Structure 1
Amino acid sequence: MAGLSVDAFAAATLPFANYLPLSTFAVETVPSVRLEQEHGIPPEHLMVLSSEDLAGEGPDVSALVLASLGAPPVEQPLFLVRSGPLRDSMVAALAQLVHEAGWAGEDVGVTHLEELGGTVVFDLLGWAVPQESGATVVICDEPLFADGRRDGRFAAVGLRLSRGAGPLTVAGCGEGPPGAEAPAADHRFGGRGPCDSWLALHEALAAGRIGAGERVLLHARGPLREGWLLLEAADPAALRLTGSASPAPRTTG
């Protein structure tokens, strides 16, 4: 992970759509006790993404952030990191994204990291990002289950990574609660999903609240697992920030 930096950062959100109450499904199909343990949502408030919500209208959040980042200066690999299963098992999300974007480089899919997709995945990226070209990373969170008591969104962040010094330098990451990294951070952003802390950081950067030389801790914590990522804002003014992280209202079916 040493020497990995973020040169460009995009964010996108879309509203939830066509979520159905857990009670509309057979108990043996969706075991409520296990779901409550894994997602921390009481059965009476748990919503499940309808199988009818497959295509939608317009690009999905992954396509939005990739388009917002634009084409890389050189051919480089694309990593699509998804928190959970595909919304449509008949559609290969990575292949569709590559085709629609006209991506020329290699492509790699990483899935089912759940809340760790925005933090611990940097262990993989630390050795997988090529020295000569860098890489583009799209972290996508389209939850299969949602809490009916809360507003929600599909979310994605896009990162253009390079080796060497850059606007945001990756200083460390790990699974579990942050230790000495927490008091060392000047800013701390948290959330349950893999994109939540990134969206908060995007908003803070856009508002100019992150100063040069400050350290930022991103912390994702779910019912069963948690992970962290420490960044150093070496030169936040040089970071190319695109897209909007503004939340959108949720609708349910």
Structure 2
Amino acid sequence: MTGEVHGGIGAFYATPAGRVAARLVRARLRELWPSLDGRSVLGLGHADPYLDLWQGEAARLVALRPRQLGPPRAAFRSGGRPGPRGGGVMAEEEALPFPDLCFDRVLMVHGLEVAENVRRLLREAWRVLRDDGRLLVVVPNRRGLWAHFETTPFGHGQPYSPGQLGRLLADHLFRVERRDAALFLPPFGFRAVLPVAEFWERAGRALCPPRLAGLAIVEARKDLFAGEPAGAAALRRQVRSLAESLA
């Protein structure tokens, strides 16, 4: 994903179509995580349009964007409210600037499908999550229409089917807990669709299989019995443990 596309994400969410799409996705995220009182939450990718769902109740909200993409050219805040408490951060997606076990929740939107190194991004998410932490991933659905229209940010990067996403998370030490879907309305003809977007979305959820939705949403928790995280952080922990045993 180029910086140009990333900058277009903010521009998309500033349009009427983007605001409606965000509202529909926000409804699903709020259903999955209805309350995060006192929790520490990290948003990876471009999660800014969604993090303020938990503004005022989460202990900390941090939005992180990959450094190579640069800051977005346009920002989106639902209803004009201030941004996430804790502010925004830019960093390498392969080396998040946070200590181990420091977040209760990680929300990944416009992140996984455009990651330059999916394996390292997921391992880093695993590392910074607490042992009882949960990861919520939103990606373009391979079988949905939104993945095939480049006029929206969901039409860029690597789309995933719900099954592919579940297997990918399992391969990286996460256990899938729940699956959901969003954006049953089509990514075209917005002028006619927007006034009835909520009705269309409800009808789609009732009548269409989730595999045809525009977005696949999966919640997973750390699988502590599947293995240990790889990389420098794990190596440092092993060295410390060895040193303590020899002391």
TM range (shorter): 0.3 to 0.5
Higher strand share: 1
- Report which of the two has the higher share of helix: 2
Q: Taking structure 1 as the reference length, what is the TM-score of the superposition?
A: 0.33
When normalised by structure 2's length, the TM-score is: 0.34
